[in-house]
A and B are shown apart, each in its own frame.
Chain A
Amino acid sequence: MRRVLHYVLAALLVLGLAVFVAACGDDDDDGSANKKDDVSLTQGRDLTIAVITHGEGDTFWSVAKKGAEQAGEDMGVTVKYSESANDPQKHAQLIDSAVTEKVDGIATSVPNADALRDPLKKAADAGIPIVTLNSGQGDSAALGAITHVGQDESVAGEAAGKRLAESASGKLLCVVHEQGNTGLEERCAGAKKGFGGEVENVQVKGVADIATSVTELQSKLESDDAVTAVLTLNPDIAVAGRDAIQGASSDAKLATFDLSGDVVKAVKAGEIEFAVDQQQYLQGYLPVVFLTLFNTNANTVGGGLPVLTGPGFVDKSNADTVEQLATEGTR
């Protein structure tokens, strides 16, 4: 019995290896044959678009993923969405494998241009159109992308500042919760431009220690009566800002970047004036549309400039709608 088992296993092993080697050979032949047909068949063939982000299955990126998948359905193309969990090496490998697959378009976020330069160059050399999304606006053109789909931080900051100025004149506190994040500094600089009045950046402990952040903000508000408006750059810090304003019995108006369930509730309750939404659903949806149009109609969107998905505003007027859409996972 055991002897029989041995021979069966051996036969399986040999068979497996043989078929594997054969499969390698076969597919290789197909590959070179495909290359020749590529040019003429692009129009009539089903398109495949690879969407690669640095997400980690989190709330933010699951919305973008939904956008990409919906776009695939609407455009009638195959969308392959994958995430690198913010691992630049994996991100590069995912782009490499998309190039090997000879996809018809790559949409990728670029959190670290250094790491993705080589694989994206390979994609460009292979004639695969690229659209960058979410992060990497500054590097997009140099990486050979058709366009960038995302939110311009300083434009969004400026719009937020302008809007705050409508309801509060005087002094604006811009709450920075991460040290050395240039995106946050850009938002505050933009807010200064839009607000017009005096703007002070204040550094708080951050998302990892909300309690301390509340205390820091509260003591700042108590010691400075001139503050009439507060702009936070993260939904958790927004909630901290609300608590601090209530704790200090201040009349300062509060606005924030980005959404969360708590923020939408606070907007409905009038505790937060508005939230700036970068609408990441569009950051998944639009690149697929652009790449499809590039393939089928040689269209290029953006004219060398980024396509902005934000700032969208969530205030009392649309909070109910957004809340419902958020439960459906598209906002």
Chain B
Amino acid sequence: VAGPEPGAGPTPEEEETEVTNPATTVEPPTPPTTSVVDERLADVSLMTRVLRRPELGALLAAAVIGLFFALTADPFGTLDGAANWTDVASTLGIPAVAVALLMIGGEFDLSAGVMTGTAGLFMGIMATEVDMNIWLAILLTLVFCGSIGFLNGFMVVKTKLPSFIVTLATFFVLTGVNLGVTKEITGTVRVAGISEASGFDTAFDIFGGTFWEPYDFRLSVLWWVLITALATWVLARTRVGNWIFGVGGDPVAARNVGVPVPRVKIALFMTTALASALVGIMIALRLGSMQAGQGIGDEFNYIIAAVVGGCLLTGGFGSAIGASVGALIIGMAFIGIQFSGWNTDWRFLFLGVILLLAVLVNNFVRRSAEGARK
């Protein structure tokens, strides 16, 4: 937790200067990060700084929910059970981290869910109908989805329309294309037989398989941890990370200090599309087939995970770890409810209440921290 204090400075630009150039921290009112004590700076206790982290509330909520299910639903607390709920969390968490970056950058992507279906179907059709080697198919899929992400970003930047509208259009287009093209080519609503494609075994071992023998954790969990760490590093330690905060916090000010706003936004949309594509590829390899309706509705889970993890809907604030913890909460709730044997008619009610509680805890903790600020 040694990164910048996103919530501490009034504008993101100060964080930028704080990290990229520690020598300029004499500017008020940045928190003290050097040993030089400035009388204009308030003394902020370590506790308050911890409480101000965007992901703390989510961590607390995750601990409470995890504890609850571990005590009430039998195999939840075992490593076998953990393999189940981390699996659900990982395929949500990978796009959720990218969506969190995008939201910190001040934009939405409603096509992130259906993109997983597009990616899996595209790869499946390339591998089964065109008889392509699976690795080539994966590469083409990433290029294809990346360009859709580019188009999303390009349209948002050029038209200045809200990304909510632009990506909603993309959502509908992809939903229609997924079903239409799949039925046109295969005659059914799914692409099957992916496991017979050449190169499948090696691709499966990297994207679809399991690790840690008796418990069989999914490899997607490793990918998820890796991507979360990478995104956290980018946000906290690189110039691009500061650009992202700046673009989301105040694009005009960001441009004035030399941030390439359009490029950052387009790159964020492409990152989101690629993260979704990665999950689509994983699902297709894992299942050996892909259904045309895959992923529709998941975009909300990604956004919820990011918000539970401390992202503001208005941009400029949030964390990648938080989004991952948010995904973890959704995954734990999904499998926990299953283990508990609660009537599944009510599943969405339980899920809704758990998420609401998580957001409330998050909010309460952050408010307390904000209130404690001098």
A, B in one complex: yes
Of the 9-residue stretches B29-37, B188-196, B222-230, which lies at the interface with chain A? B188-196
A92 with B67: in contact, given A31-B80, A102-B75 (CB under 8 Å)? Answer: no
Partner-B contacts on A (CB < 8 A): 2-3, 5-7, 9-10, 12-13, 16-17, 19-20, 23-24, 26-28, 30-31, 48, 57, 78, 80-83, 86-89, 92-94, 96-98, 100-102, 112, 114-115, 117-118, 122, 179-181
A82 with B47: in contact, given A9-B60, A20-B70, A89-B294 (CB under 8 Å)? Answer: no
- Count, chain B residues at interface, CB 8 A: 57
A93 with B88: in contact, given A20-B63, A100-B80 (CB under 8 Å)? Answer: yes
Decide: A28 and B77 in contact? CB cutoff 8 A.
Answer: yes
A175 CA to B221 CA, complexed, in Å: 48
Decide: A10 and B47 in contact? CB cutoff 8 A.
Answer: yes
22 A-B interface contacts by CB (under 8 A): A3-B45, A6-B45, A6-B48, A6-B51, A16-B64, A19-B67, A20-B63, A20-B77, A27-B75, A28-B78, A28-B79, A31-B80, A80-B341, A87-B291, A88-B289, A89-B294, A93-B87, A96-B87, A101-B74, A102-B75, A112-B192, A179-B187
Known: A27-B77, A89-B286, A117-B288. 16 other contacts (CB 8 A): A2-B371, A6-B47, A10-B50, A16-B67, A20-B66, A20-B67, A20-B70, A23-B67, A27-B70, A27-B76, A28-B77, A48-B341, A80-B338, A100-B81, A100-B84, A112-B190
Cβ–Cβ < 8 Å partners of A87 in chain B: 291, 293-294
Interface SS of chain B: helix, strand, loop or mixed?
A: helix
B147 to chain A, nearest CB (A): 25
A178 to chain B, nearest CB (A): 9
A31 with B344: in contact, given A115-B289, A180-B187 (CB under 8 Å)? Answer: no
A38 CA to B347 CA, complexed, in Å: 30
Return the chain B residue nearest A7 by Cβ: B47
Partner-A contacts on B (CB < 8 A): 45, 47-48, 50-51, 59-60, 63-64, 66-67, 70-71, 74-84, 87-88, 91, 183, 187-190, 192-195, 216, 283, 286-289, 291, 293-294, 334-335, 338-339, 341, 344-345, 347, 365, 368, 371-372
A147 to chain B, nearest CB (A): 24
Return the chain B residue nearest A91 by Cβ: B287
